[in-house]
Amino acid sequence: MMSDKIRNCPLCGETPESDAGTYTCKNIACYLWGHRIPSRIWNARPVEYRLEADNKRLLDVLSRAYMADIYECAEIIENEMKDKKVGE
């Protein structure tokens, strides 16, 4: 899920500066300012990836529930909750 595009600072959202394959935050008030971080690490967002996956799954459940009969909605949601505890 990691793209080649360099993402903004994980702490403050500022556009990063690059230097010799490393990235740093250009916001002097940010903790990551001045730290030279390899792109692979700079771009790593494990919590965001998990939340994106959860959101995608929930949207899928909602869209299926929306299209289903009202009595099927509870069954769909119950089955999804059995399959996976949301947020873990």
Residues that bind Zn ion (CB under 5 A): 9, 11-12, 14, 25, 27, 30, 32
> Whole-number minimum distance, CB 18 to Zn ion, in Å?
14
Rounded CA separation 77/16 (Å)? 41
Q: Which is nearer to Zn ion, 19 or 83 (CB)?
A: 19
Q: Which is nearer to Zn ion, 31 or 49 (CB)?
A: 31
> Whole-number minimum distance, CB 32 to Zn ion, in Å?
5
Residue (of 67, 60, 61, 58) closest to 87 by Cα position: 58
Exposure string for 54-83, b = 16+ CB within 10 A, e = fewer: eeeeeeebeeebeeeeeeebeeebeebeee
Q: Which is nearer to Zn ion, 25 or 42 (CB)?
A: 25
> Whole-number minimum distance, CB 52 to Zn ion, in Å?
21
